[in-house]
Each structure stands twice: as C-alpha cells, then as structure tokens.
Amino acid sequence: MRVLFTIFLFSVLAFGNLISFNYDNREDIQILRELDIESEFIRDLELQSMYVKYLTQYKDYYIKSFNESGLLIPKLKEILKNEGIPTSILYLGMAESNFNLDAKSTMRAKGLWQFIPDTAKRFGLKNDEYLDERLDIEKSTLAAAKYLKYLHGIFGKWYLATIAYNCGEGRLIEGIVRLSIDIYCQENPEFCNSKEYIQYKDIISKYQQRQVGFSELNKVYNEVKKLDVSFGLADLSIVQEGISRQYIPYESRNHIKKIVSFAIMMNKNNVLEDANAHLLNRGISTPIVPVQVKGGVHLKNIADVIDVEYDTLISLNKHLKEQIVPIHKKQYKIYIPYESLNSFIQNVDNIKQVEYQVHYVVAGDNLGKIGKKYGISYKMLKEHNQLTSDALKINQKLIIPIPKIETTNKVATSKANLTREYIVKKGDTLGSIAKNNKIPLNKLVSDNKLGSTVIKEGDKLVIKN
C-alpha cells in the first residue's frame, strides 16, 4: 500500500505541483476560496486522484471539448461575471454537459446547464413547439445563474450551491442537518439524549421514507442552524461505514470535485502547452452576439443574407427546434458570430420571410397524419395555420412550416478530409473564409485554436474539409 501511495504522490508532483501537497500553491487555493471551500481541501486524496486521472487519461478529451466550445465560452464567462457568479462555476457547465448545448440525460435534463423541465419552467425557460430555451446560450445561462444565486441565498456558500444544483436543495438540506447534529453530538454528548435530537432524527427518517414533506425538514434545518455548527466540504464528503445513505450522494461528491479539478486544470500554463495556450485567453472578446429578427424567418434565409455558414448558425441557435423563428413573435433574439454583425446591420431588411411548403388536404387526411408526413407536430401545424378546430376539408390549403430548399446538383469531390493552408487576404473575415471553404465557423476556429475571431492579412490558417 505504501508503494502505491508513493507512486501516486510522485505522479501528482511530476506534473509541476499542479494540485500537490504544496500548500502555497496560490492559484489552486484561490479557486477553492472562490467557491468557499476550505483551503485544506487541496489535500483531499480523492480530489488529487481525480485531478491526476483527468490530467493523464482524459486531458486531451476535455481540452478538445473546451476548444470546440470556442464560440460559447466567452459569452458564458461574460454572463456569469455580470451576474456575480464566481469564475470557477463556469466549469459546472463542463461537469454537467461538456459545454454541449443539446446534451440530454436519462432524467429528461437538457442543455448546457442540464435543466429538467420543472426547474426550467420555474426559472422562466420556455419549451413549446418552436422553442426549447434550455438550449438557448444566453437565456439558459442567465437561468442557471439565477438558480445558483437562489441556492447561494439558502446555503451561503458557493460550493454548497453547486452541490444542491446537482442533487437538489432538499437532499442537501437533509445531509447538512444530519452532519450538523452528528458533529454537535460529538462535541456535546448530552445532546444525543435530548428531546430535540430524538425529534430531529425522527423527522429525518420520515422524510427519507417520504412520510413527511420538505417543509417539516426545512423547519429542522432552520432550528439546527441555530446550533452554529461549523463544517466544510471535507466533512460533508465523509463516507460513513455501514451506512447506505451518505450525507450527500456519491455523484454529488464527485461532481464538486470535478468542477474544482477542471478549474485548476484549465487554469494552468503548464497543462495548456503551447498548442493550447490560446485557451488561457479565452474570454477576452465575445465571438457571438445576439440580434433581433422578425418572427417566421428561417435560419437559412438569415445565413444566406449575412454570409454565414448555415451549420454555424444552427450550432448557435439549437433552441429553435425547426430552425424557424417563432411565427407568433414580432421580434425574437437569435445569435450570430460577432464578425457578421456589420453584415447583419446592413442587410437585415433583405432577410426574406421563408417560403413554406404547401399541402392540400385529400380524403383520409387529418392533422396528425399530415404532421407525421412532414416530420412536424400536430400542435405546430394547427398553430401555424391558426386553426380553431381539428376539422379539415378536401382541398383545404395548409401551410407546412418547412422551407422550400432549392436542390442543386452536388458534384462529388476528392477534397473530403483534405487539409490545406490558407493565407489571409485583405478584406477576409473568418466568416467569409469559412463560407467560401464550406466549413462551419466554429470548426475553423477550433481547427486553428484561435483565442479570438480577430485575423489580419498574412495570417496562416489551416483548412480541414
């Protein structure tokens, strides 16, 4: 066992005291303090082990994910900063979804911040036939910040807010109550035989068995807070022998350690070697910008007019379920690359309303059958045509909210998977280069490991088709 520990310790120290037993590692300690975690937690062996695992086994994977999110991360940082959220909580997004805007879970959670439907609704995120704002870059991040501030208001510490974000405030309150009375009992043995202690334990047990509601548990929590028991993340993370229900779930213990590990790893000059050094500067400028467009337009029409790759626009607006701006909205916000803003301002009036497909009702048709044929919902079809009932007439004209896309003959080429060098010319922008080479803008940024969207004449770019 001693040999294994020595090997482990050597592995940690071999990476330049990244998260080592050197207590004077100020950057690492600052991340803990930012999250209100006790400085001594830097010595936690599970944290050390997790950090080394990510650094050795999964470093390339996580750096690739961070790199591919180049258009998103500056906007996320900007919103969190404006909302007064600690910088390190950015990595909650990495732990939740790997910065994947349309990530899904088996618990029906969706989006970068993994909102379940009830919590999304609670914090103002819409989900209808046209929209799922859990996938909206700005709105979902604002909702996550609002939720985290609400949790911070309950628990008073950011690391507790992030744990509650993962397991729910009720589950964390239960764990804090149990931990607090356990600590108080150890320091005051006579309390273990008190009427209050027996009552608290009884309510906790009944809450676990769903015999009493959250309000009863919350009363105990407010009473226990008066005991003024001090505890830290190390105490909350203790694994009690012979007890199946720990203070906080295994997943939540790992979750907060993931966030800390990611924050430290992505903050290191010697982890982000020369090839990834641009990631340290990510956030200096915002590569995406929100703009207002008319309801009923299609992303493809917008892409064509402002000279942006359609795939790039889709990747920034995954909250639009059918790539259509809701028809019932006079104006609605979408996201475009910042470098396309001037083009948008100059050409916004040239964005055409989409020309939709038309269906004429035949015998045997109904809204559900027609919707299935075109791959849209019955509700969207009914709403789009402003129908007040499900009744249809033969030859009735229905507008299908799917655009008529012109088909063109596409000539096969051997350029697939071809990598070549491109020299930036006067007047070039990343958007125009991406469009001319038929690649998404975010892929061009990622392939060239760009820290911003600013380029100048003579720069060399790699084009990977």
| Structure letter (DSSP) for residue 135 | G
Q: Which residues pair with 462 in a beta bridge?
A: 421
pLDDT at 21: 43
Helix axis angle, 158-167 to 169-187, nearest 10°: 130
Q: Compute CA 450 distance to the chain's CA centroid, rounded to the nearest angstrom.
A: 21
Let me know if 270 is exposed, middle or buried by CB neighbors in 10 A (0-12, 13-18, 19+). exposed
The CA distances from residue 238 to 23, 241, 247, in Å, are 22, 9, 8
The phi and psi torsions of 419 (rounded to 5 degrees) equal: -110, 130
| Structure letter (DSSP) for residue 400 | E
The first and second tokens of residue 119, run together, are 């919590």
pLDDT at 322: 82
Q: Compute CA 410 distance to the chain's CA centroid, rounded to the nearest angstrom.
A: 36
pLDDT at 284: 43
Task: Write down all domains in the chain, each with its CATH number in brackets.
Answer: 1-167+231-282 (1.10.530), 288-352+410-464 (3.10.350.10), 356-403 (3.10.350.10)
Q: Which residues pair with 320 in a beta bridge?
A: 131
User: DSSP string of 46-65?
Assistant: HHHHHHHHHHHTSHHHHHHH
pLDDT at 423: 80
Residues of the chain with pLDDT under 50: 1-24, 269-272, 274-281, 283-284, 406-417
pLDDT at 285: 54
Q: Mean pLDDT score of the chain, rounded to an integer?
A: 84
| Structure letter (DSSP) for residue 1 | -
Query: pTM score, two decimals?
Result: 0.76
List all residues 6 or more positions away from 36 whose beta carbon is below 8 Å from its beta carbon: 156, 157, 158, 159, 160
Residue with tokens 């045509």: 385
251-303 pLDDT, tens digit per residue, is: 999 999 999 999 988 776 444 454 444 444 454 456 889 999 998 888 988 99
Q: How far apart are CA 271 and CA 275, in angstroms?
A: 10
Let me know if 298 is exposed, middle or buried by CB neighbors in 10 A (0-12, 13-18, 19+). buried
176-191 pLDDT, tens digit per residue, is: 999 999 999 999 999 9
Q: Compute CA 293 distance to the chain's CA centroid, rounded to the nearest angstrom.
A: 25
pLDDT at 107: 83
Secondary-structure breakdown of the chain: helix, strand, coil percentages, each rounded to the nearest 5: 50, 10, 40
∠ Cα 409 413 415 (to 5°): 140
pLDDT at 3: 45
